[in-house]
Amino acid sequence: DSGVTQTPKHLITATGQRVTLRCSPRSGDLSVYWYQQSLDQGLQFLIQYYNGEERAKGNILERFSAQQFPDLHSELNLSSLELGDSALYFCASSSRTGDNYGYTFGSGTRLTVV
Amino acid sequence: AQTVTQSQPEMSVQEAETVTLSCTYDTSENNYYLFWYKQPPSRQMILVIRQEAYKQQNATENRFSVNFQKAAKSFSLKISDSQLGDTAMYFCAFDGGSNYKLTFGKGTLLTVNP
């Protein structure tokens, strides 16, 4: 167990639908990152939150949005889903201090759009 | 923008042998971190090793070690005494500190043969 919890592990939904992916960061980590890993691509950075505030944005589609709540958990909302949105979505949290500097990943949510 | 390049899409090695995975990166930052992550068939992202750019000494973690050449912007991973469980996709990643995200290479698929 990495300490980063992602739910659900698997999600199958139809085109045009909306889904919400949830992430709880490791205890003490204030930053949450979302990444998308498609079958034929590496890990694409979507968005980062730090202590509730959006800090950095990658190539995130307008149909996608995210937020981080006061208890530091984060949700990634994907709407008007298309077949091409099928991918593994990772959440990571980071400790950016001293010897513990690094990123810890959750086990991912596998989204299948049919 | 930072870029990370892994020039070897696939590699294979015999069990108990040594293999080196290559990674180069491009940045104008002076202080940064480099990482190697392992993604086995379970798709979990597992931190293998971390290197801080301001440290001259190459990082080591048991059978894993890096050759960090800052001037050449090169960060290779050496796996000694390869084991079947080392079979995985290996990603090189860069964190430029002020960049607020981890940038990944496209990965190298390593197969360890018995």
Q: How confident is the model at residue B2 (pLDDT cuts 50, 70, 90)?
A: confident
Q: Within its chain, how far is the Cα of B53 from the centroid?
A: 14
> Cα–Cα distance between A24 and A7 in angstroms, integer?
9
Which residues are B79's β-sheet partners?
Answer: B19, B64
- The answer to whether B37 and B90 are in contact (CB under 8 A) is yes
Which whole number is the average pLDDT over B54-72?
94
| pLDDT at A95 (0 to 100) | 75
Phi and psi dihedrals of B70, rounded to 5? -65, -45
Nearest-CA distance from A54 to chain B in Å? 11
Residue A59: pLDDT above 90?
A: no
pLDDT (tens digit per residue) in A80-107:
999 999 999 999 998 766 667 889 999 9
Q: Summarize the confidence of residues A4-13 as an average pLDDT.
A: 97
* Percentage with pLDDT > 70 across chain A: 95
Interval B94-114 mean pLDDT: 89
Least confident of A10-19, A78-87, A99-108, B4-13: A99-108
Among B50, B52, B106, the residue with its CB nearest the CB of A42 is B106
Mean pLDDT for B41-62 is: 93
B43 vs A48, A102, A108: nearest CB:
A108
Residues of A in contact with B5 (CB under 8 A): none
Where does residue B4 rank: exposed (0-12), middle (13-18), buried (19+ CB within 10 A)? buried
pLDDT for residue A37 is more than 70: yes
